[in-house]
Amino acid sequence: MTDSKGATPAPAPARWRKYAFLNLTPAQYFVRLIPAIVYGFYMYSSRGPFQPASCTGFGLHCPMATNHITGVLERPEYYGQVLGYYTNLIAQAEDLGGSLAVFVDGQAAVEGIIIARLVDQGKLDYEAKIVEYWPEFGQNGKENVRLRDLMVHESGVPALDDEDKLDVLSWASQGDEEKFSERLARQPHAFGGKPTRAYHGITRGWFLNEIVKRVDHKGRTIGQIAQQDLMTDYEDLELYYAKLPKESDWEDRLSPMHDYPLLRLFGRLVLPQAVLNSKVFGYPHLLPLHRIVKKSFESKSLTAKALMPKFAPWPHLFRTPEAHVYEGTSFSLKTNAHSLARLMSMMANKGGATRPGEPDLISPAVYTQATTLHGTAVCEVTGETFPLSVGGWVKTRDFYGEGPLKGVEVQGWAGAGGSMIMWIEELGIGFSYVTNAFAAPETLLGDFRGKTLLDRVVYARKGELGLLPKKKATTPEGGADVGAGAEAQAAAEEKK
């Protein structure tokens, strides 16, 4: 190259050559960064979603999970492989600590038990209209709504409207009980009074509490009944719906809550599924995101209103102290997997006690009534068609995969975040999996973590009962109780 006079310009001084990258074009920068981009993408896609950035990007400071086992495996010949899978599961995640977690996904199952107990006591009737207990409820199309309709998410109140800009719904809105009760009663029926399935993910507990306070002889809420009755009648249960026993428990015992990383969520929304399932850059068995993910970002959709209210659009906001000043039984339960598995083991025993000296949870008659299939309907919030029982629990023989769970009737509840609370009557299994790390919603009844763990428990239980092909079965005897873990807590109880 020459200048206008034909002379060749002198080369840049050596001391400036090392800064030549400052003069590169954007395209040249991109070309030079391609190896780093590919490496970063590979590392990010091959690490767990809840690892710190230093670990996902460079493989540095990756936390080592601690296995917090609170239960005792009495028959390792059957349940050792369950523990093996569980240990491997939590070894892939950060040690999140804590002996309690906010159980957002499956609180509907515990609500259902409290309501069934009140039915058992003659204080409630599934077929009664709500106005019989709460007359003010009967307005704006809700006059004929039954308790059963509320239990199966067909009462027309999947979300609360902001009535005006000066009265926007917030955590503090619940502070004035009388005013909040009036607000609930005024909420119009979303479907003009017609029973329509629409998941009441946040609101059902608010409405149920208004009913329960009016029929309980002490005017107690669901949370107060859980603490004063269930925690008294049954050893080692922990069910806290509002404040924890000690102020220090909030930091010392309650696990933090982790949202699914927004960058990963965005990538899964925009990248083709073929790329996400690549053996090189992705996960071959990764499922597509559920439709509720896109619907949740449509601010005017019923899905967004029901699942991502303006005052708490992300899961971790349900773990803030402000969210637990007042009781919201559909989202404020703080418990652990062992407590939930204890309740589920009694449900697997048709409501009967599983330990000597303890009272039955509910009577056989009410258990039969509450677990009777109500029906299947398309949900306007989720788009799913889960079969629900009268008591408001999922009841299905088509739960997960082609393995041991195929054809087995599973009852209970689970959520898109991953937590599960289930019982299997025919095998005598009470099961719970609690996680504080929200997975990306792929299926709505739990995800591969809890489902695979339950699958392993069912396989072990079938082997214990001699229900597997002889070449796979070992020797029968007993039951298991598997307890809490780091990234998640899991527990299973079998009747002996």
Mean pLDDT of 488-496: 54
Do residues 253 and 282 both lie within one domain? no
Mean of the pLDDT values across residues 100-109?
Answer: 79
How much of the chain exceeds pLDDT 70, in percent?
Answer: 77
DSSP, residue by residue, 63-86: PPPP----S-BS-HHHHHHHHHHH
- Highest-confidence segment of 92-101, 454-463, 487-496: 454-463
Q: What pLDDT, on the 0 to 100 scale, is given for residue 490? A: 58
Look up the domain containing 302 and give its range. 262-307
Closest CA to 108 of 176, 204, 175, 14: 204
pLDDT of 248 higher than 70: yes
One domain, residues 221 and 297: no
Per-residue pLDDT at 70: 38
User: What digits encode the pLDDT tens for the residues 347-381?
Assistant: 999 999 999 999 999 999 999 999 999 999 999 99
Query: pLDDT tens across 429-459, in order?
Result: 999 988 887 877 888 888 888 888 899 889 9
121 has a pLDDT exceeding 90: yes
- Looking at residue 56, what is its pLDDT? 65
In a domain, 438, yes or no: yes
**The pLDDT of residue 98:** 56
- Mean of pLDDT values over 269-290: 81
- For residues 285 and 390, membership in a common domain is answered with no
The pLDDT value recorded for residue 426 is: 96
**Residue 408 and residue 356 share a domain:** yes
**CB contact at 8 A, 413 and 434:** no
- What gap in Å lies between CA 438 and CA 417, rounded to an integer? 4
Residue 479 domain-assigned (yes or no): yes
What gap in Å lies between CA 416 and CA 386, rounded to an integer?
A: 14
Statement to judge: residues 270 and 287 lie in one domain: yes
61 pLDDT exceeds 90? no
pLDDT at 483: 33
Which segment, 35-44, 209-218, 275-284, 485-494, is predicted with the most confidence on average?
209-218
Whether 184 maps to a domain, the answer reads no
pLDDT bucket at 45, cuts 50 / 70 / 90: low
SS3 per residue for 289-303: CCHHHHHHCCCCCHH
Residues 6+ apart with CB under 8 A from 234: 342, 343, 355, 358
**In the predicted structure, residue 103 carries a pLDDT above the cut 90:** no
The gap between the terminal CA atoms of the chain, to the nearest Å, is 89
pLDDT grade, residue 238 (50/70/90)? very high
CA distance 42 to 63: 19
Give the pLDDT confidence score for residue 47 in this predicted structure: 63
Q: Is residue 131 a part of any domain in this protein?
A: no
Q: Looking at residues 336-342, what average pLDDT do you find? A: 90
Which ranges of 349-415 does DSSP label H, i.e. alpha helix?
Answer: 364-370
Where are the strands (E) in 366-419, listed by range?
Answer: 373-376, 387-389, 394-396, 410-414
Predicted local distance difference test score (pLDDT) of residue 382: 93
Give residue 69's pLDDT: 38
Is 125 in contact with 390 (CB distance < 8 Å)?
A: no
Domain end position, chosen among 247, 282, 307: 307
CA distances from 374 to 132, 319, 369, 385 (A): 22, 33, 10, 12
The predicted structure's pLDDT at residue 473: 41
pLDDT given at position 476: 34
pTM higher than 0.75 for the full model?
A: yes
| Structural domain includes residue 204 | no
Q: Within this chain, do residues 45 and 85 fall inside the same structural domain, yes or no?
A: no
Last residue of a domain, one of 248, 273, 307: 307
- Kindly state whether residues 425 and 481 are assigned to the same domain: yes
Q: How far apart are CA 438 and CA 422, in angstroms?
A: 19
Instruction: Quote the pLDDT of residue 231.
Output: 96
Structural domain count, the chain:
3
Look over the chain and give the mean of its residue pLDDT values, rounded to a whole number: 82
Residue 166: CB atoms within 10 A of its CB come to 6
Give the whole-angstrom CA distance, residue 421 versus residue 105. 9
Query: In this structure, are 404 and 286 located in the same domain?
Result: no
CATH number of residue 106's parent domain: 3.40.710.10
Length of the chain equals 496
Higher-confidence residue of 482 and 227: namely 227
Residue 129 lies in a domain: no
**69: exposed, middle or buried (Cβ count in 10 Å: 0-12, 13-18, 19+):** middle
Residue 450, pLDDT score: 85
Pairing state between β 420-424 and 394-396: unpaired
Summarize pLDDT for 126-168 with one digit per residue, the tens. 999 999 999 999 999 999 999 999 999 999 999 998 766 656 7
Tell me the per-residue pLDDT of 170-203, one tens digit each, with 9 for 90 and over. 888 888 899 999 999 999 999 999 999 999 999 9
How far is residue 401's CA from residue 88's CA, in Å, rounded to a whole number? Answer: 20
List, in sequence order, every residue forming a beta bridge with 480; answer none if it has no partner: 73
* Sign, Cα dihedral of 44, 45, 48, 49: positive
Q: What is the mean pLDDT of residues 53-80?
A: 57
CA distance 211 to 340: 24
pLDDT of residue 359: 97
pLDDT at 36 over 80: no
Distance CA 108, CA 151 (A): 9
Indicate if the pLDDT at residue 301 is higher than 80: yes
Return the closest-CA partner of residue 283 out of 263, 268, 262, 303.
Answer: 268
Flag whether 42 is in a domain.
yes
For residue 256, what pLDDT is reported? 83
CB 96, CB 251: distance < 8 Å: no
In a domain, 448, yes or no: yes
In this structure, the answer to whether residues 293 and 398 fall within a common structural domain is no
- Residues 413, 483 within the same domain: yes
Q: Are residues 398 and 472 in the same domain?
A: yes
Q: What is the pLDDT, as a whole number, of residue 488?
A: 43
456 and 482 together in one domain: yes
- Strand segments, DSSP code E, in 304-392 are 334-335, 373-376, 387-389
DSSP label at residue 392 = S
